[in-house]
A and B are shown apart, each in its own frame.
Chain A
């Protein structure tokens, strides 16, 4: 081995560059996350203490996040399997639409859920026809339902990517060996899930740890106090910056531990190479399985699409009469989303390459990866306040409102981008790495001819997710914005605050439409000529 390494110095140099770029990206994120917490801490007076209420908030946060992640992933397994082995008209549209809850602004999603599952919602009306009592969604189960609504689509997509990464040759082989659905699950499904599930669980767990508005509204009261709400209280009720920063650090510690655990549990998949042929599933052709899969897809679609339909129906009459500032804000939001995509993909690619190249040093590789997941676990309030404190002495933060929002949105989307890219990049390396090495394909050449083309699908998905998330997220703009510089979500929020619920509903529909359009275009862009 030594001799080979000596014989190919360009390879080493090239790897060094990727590692440096990835390390730089990771360092930047560490600076952003811990820097903002430290900035808040630097303005704190008084000691670091937590009350009994804070500990209760920490317990509830971990409980609801773990339940939400487990249920989202658990339900996503059969739904993804059904989607992976069925072909039907409108499947691509359904897959995109089912991803929409994930990109909805929180306040819109809560109202959509309430319109369908609330006391006066569609489901309760239906139950009343049969003389049954209305459903009660308020409580821990409500929090979990809402988080599953948000995250089931993400979990489904991540597992679906896993199914699609299994070479078609495997299924052909399975068919010639006469394997049934049970054998396929054992020999192909299970190893793939073993590699995919921990990561999916972890990402969803992380998102749910910073939940606040959803948890409170559907949790039914202060029993559903999360760490993020405790941070709010420390910040605006007591102006106790040290407690706010301490709680943010605890949030980070919980998330860091969860991320490390997930990476440690996950077993990288070794499927071997295939020829990228279309998968045909002979195993699932029985009527019983067809019915099962059809039923599962229909149920998931109903659960995810009905609240979206409610939001759309409410906004439709208003769409034609939206005031002029809405269109200006829409343009601003598109601009922010575009910048977010560029930033997120740059960071994610640098980190992905570093993670892949550092495989022989697992501790370092995992370190870089965990860093990428951390940002999503920082309290949005603390990161916004910290950035404000860092920028304020230097420049006018208001002037930087849009770029800063784009940057924070990009970093928040990084975990999803990494989840999509890292497994795919690892597979490219294991399948084509030795061949590329022996051809002396290095540096930009290797990136352009091998890595990027092979990563086109996950890159498209990552870009789509980042763009749509950035579109719909309020982000830190609320802390920075001037009156004429609002993005679409901020405008929506302001309209609701001035009683304009109808106009806000119109804005919500526009936002949903634009997010979906971005998602569709970028996701499709990554799948030209591909069969999904």
Chain B
């Protein structure tokens, strides 16, 4: 013992330094102090004997662009925060590895089959409004109303692209007509979600393109029950956010451990009240109080990953034509 004690003292700091580092690339709001990042880092480090480091890069699309720029020399072991509109393009890069989690047991509104990308949360796009107004129940009703909406540009924003695909999935070839009907309702289009949502909370527009889960934030974090999401009869477009390992990672086992951890309570129970999305696997304790008040769409719309990119290009051209007049 005499000899061991000083050795142990010497060893402790060395051990801390030798902990393997797992680098996870994710989007910006994930790592904000109120985002899921800090709690998840703590929970995973408690069981992995590793150092989890987040690197933040814009949003999902910026994340993929960043990885493409870096190529195989990337430091990333895991990329967390792409969505189903990006997974096909992401798979094409050949940069991502297959997960070793076998069959996934998930609580998603749709079936999930993908041997590369693992969902960690999901949500529906929706128009959020103040409870004072009578919300429209479909895009057509919205087009016929005098209500003003703020939306995001699909070229620079993830929800903006979601709306584009929502209309396309619901209306197919009739989508251009729907957009033409909406032109006089669209107060303006912003670069990102934050500008839109800020304008809405300032009372500038009647409705804003966001998520069905947005009212949960106001209810739970601000005790404000005056926000609601309008249910649309066409159904709502689904956003599924996913993560995957990077094939070139030299800590691939640890990366897969992280994906496995991602589907446990330590990760999933943090999601509802930090990322304000539905967890991909329902935690043992269920959803936080307040989530039961949210709009629960009957129909979930989504393009399969392979078709999203083609639909996207057609829909963008239609959107630009309709709104540029």
Binding site for B on A (CB under 8 A): 43, 53, 56, 107, 110-111, 114-115, 118-121, 138, 212-213, 216-223, 229, 232-233, 235-237, 239, 323, 325, 385, 388-389, 392-393, 396, 398, 478-479, 481-483, 490-491, 493-501, 504
Residues of B within 8 A of A212 (CB): 191
Residues of B within 8 A of A498 (CB): 29, 32, 34-35, 274
Residues of B within 8 A of A229 (CB): 153, 155-156, 191
Within 8 A of A (CB), among B59-79: 61-62, 64-66, 68-70, 73, 75
Contact between A222 and B62, CB atoms less than 8 A apart: no
Cβ contacts B62-98/A at 8 Å (1 or 0 each): 1011101110010100000000000001000000000
Contact between B194 and A497, CB atoms less than 8 A apart: yes
In the bound complex, how far is the Cα of B56 from the Cα of A491, in angstroms? 12
Other A-B contacts than A497-B193, A498-B29, 6 sampled, CB-CB below 8 A, are A221-B188, A222-B189, A232-B156, A323-B33, A388-B69, A500-B34
Contact between B187 and A119, CB atoms less than 8 A apart: yes
Residues of B within 8 A of A323 (CB): 33
Which chain B residue lies CB-closest to A40? B69
Which chain A residue lies CB-closest to B325? A223
Contact between A232 and B155, CB atoms less than 8 A apart: yes
Contact between B190 and A120, CB atoms less than 8 A apart: no
Binding site for A on B (CB under 8 A): 28-29, 31-35, 37, 53-58, 61-62, 64-66, 68-70, 73, 75, 89, 148, 153-156, 186-195, 197-199, 201-205, 214, 217, 221, 274, 276, 316, 319-320, 323-324
Contact between A107 and B194, CB atoms less than 8 A apart: yes
In the bound complex, how far is the Cα of B32 from the Cα of A479, in angstroms? 15
Tell whether A107 pairs with B153 under 8 Å between CB atoms, given A478-B58, A498-B29.
no
Contact between A479 and B57, CB atoms less than 8 A apart: yes
The one of A393, A482, A493, A504 that contacts B73, using a Cβ cutoff of 8 Å: A393
The one of A222, A389, A493 that contacts B28, using a Cβ cutoff of 8 Å: A493
Which chain B residue lies CB-closest to A212? B191
Nearest-neighbour CB distance to chain A for B68, whole angstroms, equals 6
Contact between A110 and B195, CB atoms less than 8 A apart: yes
Closest 9 interchain pairs by CB? A497-B29, A483-B31, A496-B194, A494-B32, A233-B155, A120-B203, A236-B61, A213-B191, A498-B32
Residues of A within 8 A of B276 (CB): 499
Contact between B188 and A499, CB atoms less than 8 A apart: no
23 residue pairs of the A-B complex, CB under 8 angstroms, read A56-B324, A107-B198, A119-B148, A216-B188, A218-B188, A220-B186, A220-B189, A235-B65, A236-B62, A236-B64, A236-B155, A237-B316, A239-B65, A325-B33, A393-B73, A398-B55, A478-B58, A482-B53, A483-B55, A498-B34, A499-B34, A499-B197, A500-B32
Contact between A120 and B202, CB atoms less than 8 A apart: yes
Residues of A within 8 A of B221 (CB): 499
Which chain B residue lies CB-closest to A217? B190
Residues of B within 8 A of A483 (CB): 31, 37, 54-56
